[in-house]
Structure 1
Amino acid sequence: MFTGIVQGTADVVEVREREAFRTHVMAMPEPLRQGLKTGASVAHNGVCLTVTAIEGDHVHFDLMRETLRVTNLGDIVVGSRVNIERAARFGDEIGGHAMSGHVMDVADVLSIEEAPDNRRLWFSLSDACARFVFDKGYVGLDGISLTVGEVRRPVGEAAAFCVDLIPETLVRTTLGDRVAGDAVNIEIDPQTQAIVETAERFLQSRSAATQ
């Protein structure tokens, strides 16, 4: 489990390509490597990946076909910087919200609104995710736990949502580097998914019973 509180970033120093499979080699800072062992889970732009090898400050992660298809990790190249979070341990403070590291989709950056002390980013919202995203609800973007500021659902147009970022988030994570057109990984709060899907099944059963 993860909390969406990014602990730092790491640079990709090597990408090893194979058919429908790749390995990312990361240069991870020493604080992020403390106690790290092969087999451990680490969130990599919000995607739960397993450590496959450790060679000094270089840490290896394997990515399967589905991970490359569903997330933005297939776009990563040598020199890319990714958000890193180590798996939560029992007793850790959960400063964000419970996240599984299982990304549902990607959301494109539509526009960026600058302000003196914060930045607002607007993202596209696919049909697969739209039913789960609400004003003031939680969302995970590239592994960062964020509060949804506003959701727009124009009639006949694609839905969109925004988040507001404080300077600390912009400095600590890769969202400060994002520009319009970039794709970020999106994970929906599992509790929200469960509640929405339960409510939908209940309403469908009631509708069927009255027909």
Structure 2
Amino acid sequence: MFTGIVQGVAPLVAIEDKANFRTHTVQLPAEMLANLELGASVANNGCCLTVTAIEGDRISFDLIKETLRLTNLGDLQVGNLVNVERAAKFNDEIGGHLMSGHIMCTAEIVKILTSENNRQVWFRIANEQNMKYILHKGFIGIDGISLTLGEVTRNRFCVHLIPETLERTTLGKKRLGDKVNIEIDPQTQAVVDTVERVLAHRDLAGPTVKTFGETTR
């Protein structure tokens, strides 16, 4: 599990591509290396990845076909930066919201509005069916950053970014057309999916008919 509070930004220093498979290596910030072991979980742009090799501060991760399909990690090139976060520990402060590191889809940046000390960024989600989980003032994970949703329309949504977020993460360097990884708040997803199932079951059961004080279907 992760908190969505990005601990650092790491440059991608090596890529090895194979058929439907990629190993990428990042240079992890020194303060994130303590007690890091093979098999540990580290979020890269919000995607939970397993450490497969450690060579000093150069940390490698394997990306399988599904990861490459659902995330923006397969689009990265050597020199690009990724947001990184070590897995949360018990008793850690949860400054953002609980995140699994399981990316649902990507979204494209379609509008950036900048004013003094503020930036509003609008996104268009790749799979519009997932818009039902995106609610005004709800939580969302964007490239591993825990953010509060601003305005939401039928197929777009925005977030408001403070200077600290722009400085500490890759969002400050994003441009129009860039893709970001999206993780939906799991509690929101569970509520929406449960309500949909209940309503679908009720519709399949047919109308309620009352006869002699009893309720039948």
Identity within the alignment, %: 57
Matched, 1:66 2:62: no
Q: Which residue of 1 aligns with 2:145?
A: 144
**SS in structure 1 of the partner of residue 136 of structure 2:** coil
Mark the runs of 5 or more structure 1 residues left unpaired by the alignment: 154-158
| CA distance in structure 1 between the partners assigned to 2:35 and 2:133 by the alignment | 36
Using the alignment, how far apart are the partners of 1:43 and 1:167 within structure 2?
22
Deviations 1:79-99 (A, max 9, x none): 000000000001111111111
- In 2: Cα distance, 1:111 partner to 1:48 partner: 28
Task: Name the aligned partner's letter for residue 123 of structure 2.
Answer: F
Amino acid at match of 1:94: I
What is the SS of the residue equivalent to 2:194?
helix
Aligned to 1:156: none
Distance in structure 2 (CA, Å) of the matches to 1:74 and 1:151? 28
Deviation of the 1:57 alpha carbon: 1.1
Residue 118 of structure 1, CA deviation: 1.1
Instruction: Deviation per CA, 1:122-155: give whole Å up to 9, x if none.
Output: 00033231010010000000000000001012xx
* Residues in 2 aligned to 1:17 and 1:67: alpha-carbon distance in whole angstroms: 13
The equivalent of 1:55 in structure 2 is 55
Paired positions, count: 206
Using the alignment, how far apart are the partners of 1:122 and 1:14 within structure 2?
31
Tell me whether 1:21 sits opposite 2:39 in the alignment: no
Measured in 2, the distance between the counterparts of 1:92 and 1:50 equals 20
SS at match of 2:133: coil
**1:96-135 mapped onto 2 (5 Å cutoff):** 96-125=96-125, 126-135=127-136
Match for residue 190 of structure 1?
A: 186
Q: Tell me the amino acid that sits aligned with residue 178 of structure 2.
A: D
What SS class does the counterpart of residue 141 from structure 2 fall into?
strand
Q: What is the rounded CA distance, in whole Å, between the counterparts of 2:75 and 2:132 in structure 1?
A: 27
Write the letter of the residue equivalent to 2:132. Answer: R
Cα distance in 1 for partners of 2:94, 2:206 equals 44
Where does residue 43 of structure 1 map in the other structure? 43
* Equivalent position amino acid for 2:10 in 1: A
Structure whose alpha-carbon radius of gyration is higher: 2
Show the counterpart of 1:204: 200
The 1-side partners of 2:15 and 2:56 are apart by 17
Cα distance in 2 for partners of 1:128, 1:173 equals 28
| CA RMSD across the alignment | 0.8
What TM-score results when the alignment is normalised by the length of structure 1?
A: 0.96
CA distance in 2, matches of 1:99, 1:181: 25
> How far apart are residue 34 of structure 1 and its match?
1.3
Q: For residues 21 and 205 of structure 1, what CA distance do their matches in structure 2 show?
A: 41
What secondary structure, in the 3-state scheme, does the structure 1 residue paired with 2:152 have?
strand
Deviation for aligned residue 1:58: 0.5
Q: Distance in 1 between matches of 2:140 and 2:14?
A: 30
